[in-house]
Structure formats: structure tokens, C-alpha cells
Amino acid sequence: MAIEEQRPTRVILEQAGAWNRWGTRLAWTVAGLSLLWALGSAAAFSQYFQKDGRVLETHHSLSRAAPDKVAIVTVAGAIMGGDGFARAQLDHVADDPAVKAVVLRVDSPGGTVSGSDEIHNRLSKLLVDRDLPVVVSMGGLAASGGYYVAMANGGRDDVIFAEPATLTGSIGVIIPHFDVSAALEKLSVRDDSIASGPLKQMLSPTRDRSPEVAEEERKILQSLVDGMFARFKAIVKGGRPKLDDAAIDKVATGRIFTAEQAKEAGLVDRIGFLEDAIARAVELAGLDDKTARVVKYTKPKALLDEVLGGQSPGAGVSLAILAELATPRAWYLCSWWPALVRSE
């Protein structure tokens, strides 16, 4: 009787074990298939994922599903250096094989010579390495260093667009210098700095110079400006190959041009808006409205930015900018006064 009572128990246990074995196999099979599907999906749609934490890519216009991209790269505000957001955007484009053309959106008064030159060099190298067409779209202001970076277009025809209200030009170099030594003398304040040589304090606003030293300083600084100015004109020649030396000399006086004046002088190709520049980039890339996805880049916002309403603690005049003002520096800038606020 005891044996008979144990038999159903044994059968029940064996049935449960079989079910567990098959259930476990089924679970592992589903998990494996799910993993394979996830990996396949990740490979197929990898171009839609964010890979660079410095930039946030968003859809701007045309097809949302097209695999080929036209990237809007923005250079806005004062150009203080080539290691900021502009560089992050260019690095992002360089690492994205789906980008087939670039629209360079310039809204800048220019900035430092070194910063403008670095952005121009990076964009020019990207254009050659990837064989990418670059179309320029000028915003409200694309002057001096802003025009300098716009010359990284490969010298193509019909690729520089200025909006009707754009101001551009200001081709030239400036090294700001302010002399307050006479005012300090009235206050009985004297610059008694100790330097290794008489030229170590070039451009010091507080130093009282002898006429001989002042003349020597000016000659040295003028030679530096002349050299950088010659490079600026050579960059313009590379971006506007149809302009001869005489035509470049005529516009390279530091003056500002309206869009119509710039077009007449050969500094821009067309009067048009961002959408017109995008259409030209799509055309040069061999795409159309259905096969091109236009994307733009923005800075990811940190939690503190959200709390402060988008204003980070470093906004405005910073100690770094004050140090910039105290440093002898040449500028491709549409102003007689160095920029006080960093570019976004």
C-alpha cells in the first residue's frame, strides 16, 4: 500500500523535471534569438545612435529615414580657439561615414587668428580626406575670421550663400593696443616691471616707452600683421579662385559689405537662406529630397544647465577672457575691441 502511494508522487516529480528542462531550453532559445535580433538591429541602425557625448545630433529637414546625411556645422559667436564646439562638430562628421555633404553655417564676427586658422584647416582637411562638398550659409554676420573659415569650401563654384541682411567682409588683421601710461602718470603711478629685454613688454598699456623703442615695437608688430594679412588674402584666393590679386586687394581693406555688395565684388555667390544652401549641398552630394537626411548639431545640456535655465556658471565674462585681453594677440575680428564673450 505504501509503494502504491509513492508511485504517483514519482510520476509527478518526473513530469515536473521534464517540464523544467524543456522550459529552460525554450527560455535560452528565446534569449539567444532576442540577442541575435538586437545585435542585428544595432548593426543595421547604428548610424542613428549617438556616439559622441560632446554633440547632440537632431533631424533638421528632408527625409527622417534616409541613410545618407547632409550635416549642418555651425560656427557662431566669437572664435576664441579651435578646440570648442566647432571642433567637436567637425570631429563628429569625420567619424560619421553617412555624412555625404556639409553645410557650414557661419554667424560670427571672427576671432583670434589661430582659432580661425585651425577651424579652416580642420574643415579643409575633412573636405579632402572624405571628398565632401562644403556649402556655406552666412547668417547675420560672417566677417573677418568668420569669412576666413567660410573659405574652406574647396574653391567650388556656386557654394557661398549670404542672406539678404548678411554683413560680411572685414578682411584684415588687428592687434589691439591701448596706452594708458599718460593717465597713470597723472595719478603718480609708474610701471616698474622687470623684464629680460626692452621688447619683452611689447603692447604693455602701462609702460612709458622711449621714441626709439616705440618705433622698433611698431615695426615688429606691423611686420607680424603684414604676414598674417598676406596669409588671409591667400586663404581668400583659395576659396575664391576666380578673384585675381587686384580684385582681392580691392576688397581686402577691412571694410564691411552688404550681401548685395559682397555678391557684386565676388565674395559670395548667391543671395539665399539656409534652405537654399541645403538644396545646393544635396545636389552636389548626388542626393535628392527623399534620399537625404539633413541633421544639425547642438550641445547636450547638463542637469545644472536645466536647473539654471540654460545659463551655466561660466557664461559671460570669465577669468580666461580677462587673461585673453591682457595677452598680446592678433585678431581676424570685425571690431577694434577683442571679444569679451566666448563662442557657444
Enumerate the active-site residues. 144, 200
DSSP code of residue 202? T
Contact yes or no for 294/61 (Cβ under 8 A): yes
Exposed/middle/buried for 205, CB within 10 Å: 0-12, 13-18, 19+?
middle
**What value, to the nearest 5°, has the Cα angle with vertex 82 and ends 201 and 259?**
100
Q: Where are the alpha helices (DSSP H) in the chain?
A: 2-44, 85-94, 113-130, 145-150, 181-186, 211-239, 245-251, 259-265, 274-284, 303-307, 319-325
Q: Is 341 left (phi over 0), alpha (psi -120 to 50) or beta?
A: beta
Q: How many CB atoms lie within 10 A of CB 237?
A: 17
Query: What amino acid occupies position 36?
Result: L
* CB neighbour list of residue 139: distance below 8 Å, 6 or more residues apart: 76, 105, 106, 107, 163, 166
Q: How many CB atoms lie within 10 A of CB 137?
A: 28
Closest to 280 measured CA to CA, from 75, 62, 103, 66: 103
Taking the C-alpha atoms of residue 101 and residue 139, their distance in angstroms, rounded to an integer, is 19
Taking the C-alpha atoms of residue 18 and residue 96, their distance in angstroms, rounded to an integer, is 51
Measured in whole angstroms, the distance separating CA 210 from the mean position of its chain's CA atoms is: 44
CA distances from 117 to 123, 156, 270 (A): 10, 20, 25
